[in-house]
Amino acid sequence: MNRNYEKYEDVKRLLAVDCIIFGYENEQLKLLLFKRIIEPSKGRWSLIGGWIKESESAEDAARRVLTYITGLKDIYLEQVKVFSEPDRDPGGNVLTVAFNALIRIEKHSKELIKEYGARWFAISEIPKLIFDHDEMLKVAFEKLRMKATYDLIGRQLLPEKFTLTHLRRLYNEIFQKEFDPGNFRKKVLSLKLLERLDEKDMSESKKGAYYYKFKDVENSHLEPIFKSSIKHE
């Protein structure tokens, strides 16, 4: 330890990460939770997290935790907020860095999820969480909505090919509102971020709907994509 820091040895806090893991399946936005395996609050539903090792950054720790639970390595990760109230965890003085993670549910390891007692919950069916994890989720959900306001979200949540209806239904779930199909289609196509495929989904109509995929371009905008449609509460 640097000698200049020795007098601060009594200033100690445990450092942790918590991951708010969103997925999308069967037209439902979902959250991955698991039952806490240590006291306090052992056996109750919790966000998925872990300690930050001395040799790790918070981002490295979050990626390690995500790979450990899902089996996936290339996961979209975005820092949400640092939660630092000294009494937030009854087990001790724990500072946690919260991250949003977006994954394609069909790609993760179902075996690992089952092994660690994790489970996907629809956003409308999330149980009461431990400590301040409900507040973490609230902040994380607003962060996700903000991302979807300025980015054409879906690259990390939808299959590689999808219809515009699939994309609109994802937005309906994120914002908990119904987007007008015609206006949504017109706006999305005007962004020129999607490539239409020569293949149709015939499952919902005789005419069918063309599949699309994301182009390999950045999809961040300085102005809201759906400026007249999205209203934050």
Please say whether the beta carbons of 72 and 45 come within 8 A: no
- Eight-class DSSP state of 217: S
Q: Which phi and psi (to 5°) does residue 135 adopt?
A: -70, -40
Peptide bond between residue 86 and the one before it cis (omega within 30 degrees of 0): no
Same domain, 205 and 228: yes
Task: Give the mean model confidence (pLDDT) for residues 123-127.
Answer: 95
How many whole angstroms separate alpha carbon 35 and alpha carbon 92? 19
Which of 91, 122, 149 is a domain's end point?
149
Please say whether the beta carbons of 167 and 179 come within 8 A: no
pLDDT band at 206 (very low <50, low <70, confident <90, very high): confident
pLDDT in tens, 64-102: 999 998 888 889 999 999 999 999 999 999 999 999 999
Same domain, 128 and 32: yes
Same domain, 144 and 163: no
SS3 category, 225:
coil
Residue 25's domain comprises 3-149
pLDDT at 1 over 80: no
Least confident piece of the model among 30-39, 108-117, 156-165 = 108-117
Same domain, 83 and 159: no
Same domain, 209 and 220: yes
pLDDT of residue 73: 85
- What size, in residues, is the chain? 233
Instruction: Record the pTM.
Output: 0.89
pLDDT at 9 over 70: no
pLDDT of residue 108: 83
For the purposes of burial, counting CB atoms within 10 Å of the CB of 33, is it exposed (0-12), middle (13-18) or buried (19 or more)?
buried
Task: Give the mean model confidence (pLDDT) for residues 133-158.
Answer: 94
- What percentage of residues in the chain have a pLDDT greater than 90? 70
Please say whether the beta carbons of 18 and 48 come within 8 A: yes
Tokens of 109: 């390891």
pLDDT of residue 220: 57
pLDDT band at 111 (very low <50, low <70, confident <90, very high): confident
Same domain, 89 and 184: no
Same domain, 144 and 179: no
The CATH number given to whatever domain includes residue 52 is: 3.90.79.10
Tell me the angle at which helices 164-175 and 181-190 cross, rounded to the nearest 10 degrees.
110
Least confident piece of the model among 22-26, 51-55, 143-147, 148-152 = 148-152
pLDDT at 186 over 70: yes
How many whole angstroms separate alpha carbon 49 and alpha carbon 64? 10
Q: What is the total count of domains within the chain?
A: 2
Task: Give the mean model confidence (pLDDT) for residues 156-170.
Answer: 95
CA dihedral sign, ordered 228, 144, 103, 134: negative
Which of 119, 134, 149 is a domain's end point?
149
The CATH number given to whatever domain includes residue 219 is: 1.10.10.10
Same domain, 182 and 225: yes
Least confident piece of the model among 150-154, 209-213, 218-222 = 218-222
Which of 107, 129, 149 is a domain's end point?
149
Tokens of 192: 């020129």
Same domain, 124 and 232: no
Mean pLDDT estimate for the chain: 89
Please say whether the beta carbons of 60 and 153 come within 8 A: no
What letter represents residue 97's amino acid? V
Same domain, 187 and 72: no
Same domain, 84 and 119: yes
What residues are labeled active site?
Answer: 115
Same domain, 173 and 209: yes
Please say whether the beta carbons of 120 and 48 come within 8 A: no
